[in-house]
Amino acid sequence: MSHIPSFGVGTFRLKGQTALDSVRNALEVGYRAIDTAQIYGNEAEVGEAIAQSGVKRAELFVTTKIWTDSYAKAKLVPSLRQSLEKLRIDYVDLTLIHWPAPGNGVELPEYMEALAEAKALGLTRQIGISNFNIELTRQAIAVVGKGEIATNQIELSPYLQNHKLTAFLNEQGITVTSYMTLAYGKVLHDPVLAKIAGKHQATVAQVALAWALQLGYAVIPSSTKRENLASNLLARNIKLDAEDMALIATLERNGREITPAGLAPVWD
């Protein structure tokens, strides 16, 4: 069974010094899992923050994602080696295919085989996928074998609960990693979540993250503010009751924030 830390720090949309500061602060307040991607353009800053932190490599869990222009068999492994150079580490703990990108010119079997090769070479300890629907996840499993896909990192929030896909992933023993768990901050103004937060003397962000954790998902929220990074981590201490979870279940509205043309699959 794969092991994915349940709580990490995300770096989507963070660039330059902002990315470096965010990761440095996250490591200082206790995060040990960091999520980046080739397309984020911040692997070097993440690597710099790790190097400055003095945290032992063995204590960290680093995830990166292969971008669509490196899906071809001849390109994937070299692109991951470049990522490792930027990150200043010998291996990543998890490497994901960032988007299925149907019609990209590289078929799924080719990039999944190349990803498996990266693992066989020791460049990554685990492999996974991101933004894959049920059918594409099935196809990916067929290529690399059952038990090989550690996670599917997908957009999930109280407004986008993705029941069919998450049920399928659970059934397959694939960890669900939730990104955009706060729906770009939209859930922060939700009256139902605010009421639950009041009951637990928590913030709304903590409640949304606790909801995902309680469903067994891994979360990777990002923040540029040190106090928010620290506050988000406290979501691990909140235990929502059955009534809270039932109330949050009613917030589903298929509220998807990200579905880039040419990259996204047909969603379930």
d(CA 20, CA 40): 13
Helices (H) and strands (E) in the chain, counts: 10, 8
Nearby residues of 4 by Cβ (< 8 Å), 6 or more positions away: 61, 94, 126, 150, 151, 175, 177, 218
Sheet of 149-155, strands arranged across: 9-10, 33-35, 61-66, 92-97, 124-130, 149-155, 175-179, 218-219
Which SS3 state, helix, strand or coil, does residue 162 take?
coil
Structural tokens at position 209: 């993250």
Annotated catalytic residue: which of 40, 111, 159, 179? 40
189 is in an annotated binding site: no
d(CA 50, CA 87): 8
Is 40 a known active-site residue? yes
d(CA 251, CA 268): 18
d(CA 140, CA 108): 7
Bridge partners for 65 per DSSP: 96
DSSP single-letter state for residue 160: B
Residue count of the chain: 268
Binding-site residue numbers for substrate are: 98
The residues annotated with a catalytic role in the active site are 40
Binding-site residue numbers are: 98
